[in-house]
Amino acid sequence: MSCERLTILNSRVSSFLVSGFLFVIFTLLVNAADAADKKVIDSEDHSSAEQLVICKVVMNRRNIFTSQNARADSQPVVQSVFSSVNRLHKTTRESVILREAGVAAGDTLSVQSIADIERRLRKLGLFASVAAKLITQDDCVELHIDTQDNFSIVFGASGSYLGGVGNIGFKTGEKNLLGTGNQLLLGLSRNSQGAFRGSIVFDDLHFFDKDWRAKYRIGRTNEGDFYGVSLSDSFRSSRDKREWSFVTERVESDKKYYSSGTTVVAIPQDQFSIGGQHVWRSSLSGKQDSDVSVANFRRGVVLRLTQSDYSALRTTESNTLFIEQPNNQNKIYLGGLLGLDTVDGYIKTQGLDTLNFVQDISIGSSAEIQFGVSVVDEEDAAGLSVSRTDPELAVILRKSALLGKQTLLNLSLASSATFEEQGARPWASTAAFKAFYIKSPKNTLAFNMDFSTGEDGSGLPVQYTLGEESGLRGYEVRQFDGRQRLRVNVETRYRPGWKLGVLDIGAVGFFDAGWASAKGASSPSFKRSFGAGLRLASNAILGSQVIRVDVAAPLDAPVGESSNPRLSVAVGQVFRF
């Protein structure tokens, strides 16, 4: 994975400094505005920090469909289907739930840590609902954990339609294999442009019955083969003091460049990488039992080897990008990272990015700096080997805040740079701002704006595309391109309570705008669209996902292009908090 880059000269550094200055101003304003609202963090009552000894853990594990589902639809055929699905599904094992909850009889817990247990279990994606509570009975404090599984059997066809490109696929497998939380999925897809992908994925939640997670994938596309293996032990709660990961993969693919939605340059690449990182974490707040109102300091080390081989690039007669053949490259990166995370609390909500699925929103901030050195061995066009040493730097900043009781804000900034020996200063920066105003339990106003820009170095050129696939509905996929891009999305999301069997139905009205252009363009031309759509969801079947069905009308269709409304169907919101 190649690292993108930052220059320290002229106007290049100004984009970075201005973005950082705006981030600091935003943080100060948010801290001042919500200082009086620090306690409005979670809908639960977490006022007691007293440590309680758990004498017993009581589990209530429910299958996908319960008696409540049966009563909601009294049709015998539907009830028979519910029963058949339940019989095919193996309810998540108690041992899996207890391991992920990180609790056992004899442990000490505070009331505050109960919400943390719920969040960890919801994050697995195995459950339609999760609830935990402490109950005192006969001088014994019992922890009661109630879970309901979601639909995990995968068998059937799927499809999407985005910006004139249709995609059909077939997938089969199990996302909760025999109740272990493991996943085994086999998939095959093909789109209307001839691209295909076949894959086998296995996700082992508890590798060798430990807290390690292993993932394996192998497959083939029209561009080549790929495989990957990863093993990791991630932070689960604030009590965890370290995490590590190991990843190796090989991917044969085409690096493509576009003009007006058409591929004009394709560079076949065969990339192999292997590496890992180890991160240590220490608490600065002295609290160990909860993720509420804590500050953590992270430091870590990263080691990565990347080998990139390129075949002869393919171009079309319409190529005006003048991209040159890249050199084969071996790269060893050794670096470190420093990070500071503060969590002021969590909000448990519905209707933000989902319909009825409970969503956990973290309130706080994060700052991370990554620094290191790459030793690059490059083979030029004449077959001669050239070596160089390139310092690299990356900065990642995030801030999320609750203003009052109805407005959620999220700001992020990511910038990376490589300082090459030849004097090139390739860099890239992305800044994003999101605001969600919960007008009522049934209506949320959502806003997204993000800006990306970068500068080339000795490696592959920077290009950003804009179209249906990247948030500008009503236009062809990748219809616009450039070395900088601005996107704006405004949505009003309705949750009226409509139902169709087990499906929840929501509605959306939206306005999209954006541009993509070459750097230094005097007056980039905004492209706009508007429309409406439906959102389909089901806690039992889709979990936290939604299916979006949108119809959008372009307001600035290029000359010769149709301005008729376009239909798009896909899984997932255009943007999330």
| Higher-scoring residue by pLDDT: 148, 37 | 148
Question: Which DSSP string do the residues of 9-40 spell out, in sequence order?
Answer: SHHHHHHHHHHHHHHHHHHHHHHHHTGGGTTT
Residue listed under structure tokens 């090989």: 250
Quick one: three-class SS letters along 337-386? EEEEEEEEEEEEECCCCCCCCCEEEEEEEEEEEEEEEEEEEEECCCCCEE
Inter-axis angle of helices 112-123 and 94-101, nearest 10 = 120
73 close to 499: Cβ distance less than 8 angstroms: no
Residue-wise pLDDT for 483-518, tens only, equals 899 999 999 999 999 998 889 999 999 999 999 987
Question: In the chain, pLDDT over 70 holds for what percent of residues?
Answer: 83
Q: Is the pLDDT of residue 283 over 80?
A: yes
More confident call, 262 vs 412:
412
Which residues are registered as beta bridge partners of 144? Answer: 58, 133
Confidence of residue 75 (pLDDT cuts 50, 70, 90): low
Q: Is residue 8 very low, low, confident or very high in pLDDT (cuts 50, 70, 90)?
A: very low
pLDDT, position 457: 67
Q: Record the tokens describing residue 2, joined without a space.
A: 């190649």
Residue 203 has pLDDT above 80, yes or no: yes
CA dist 194 and 197 (Å) reads 10
Contact 269, 284 (CB under 8 A): no
Mean pLDDT of the chain: 84
Q: What mean pLDDT is predicted for residues 547-552? A: 94
Q: Is residue 70 predicted with pLDDT exceeding 80?
A: no
More confident residue, 230 or 134: 230
Tell whether the model's pLDDT for residue 263 goes beyond 70.
yes
Residue 411 host element (H or E): strand 407-418
Strand partners, 155: 172
Residues 6+ apart with CB under 8 A from 275: 246, 247, 248, 302, 303, 304, 305, 306, 333
pLDDT value of residue 135? 87
pTM: 0.81
Q: What is the mean predicted confidence (pLDDT) over 385-394?
A: 90
Residue whose token pair is 């639909």: 151
Instruction: Determine which of 11-25, 58-72, 331-345 has the lowest per-residue pLDDT on average.
Output: 11-25
Round to the nearest angstrom and report the end-to-end CA distance of the chain.
26
Burial environment of residue 272 by CB neighbours within 10 A (0 to 12, 13 to 18, 19 or more): middle
The answer, yes or no, to whether residue 1 has pLDDT greater than 50, is no
Note the Cα 556 to chain centre separation in Å: 30
Return the pLDDT at 366: 96
Q: Is the pLDDT at 318 greater than 70, yes or no? A: no
Q: What's the pLDDT band for 199 if we cut at 50, 70, 90? A: very high
- Give the mean pLDDT of 15-42: 39
- Predicted confidence at residue 24, as pLDDT, reads 39
Q: Indicate if the pLDDT at residue 16 is higher than 50.
A: no
Q: Please report where in the chains the tokens 């070596």 appear, as a residue.
A: 387
Nearest-angstrom CA–CA distance, 28 and 22: 10
pLDDT at 4 over 60: no
Sorting pLDDT into bands at 50, 70 and 90, what band is 71?
Answer: low
Query: Rounded to an integer, what distance in angstroms lies between the CA atom of residue 91 and that of residue 61?
Result: 7
- β 262-283/294-310 pair status: antiparallel
- Which pLDDT value is given to residue 197? 93
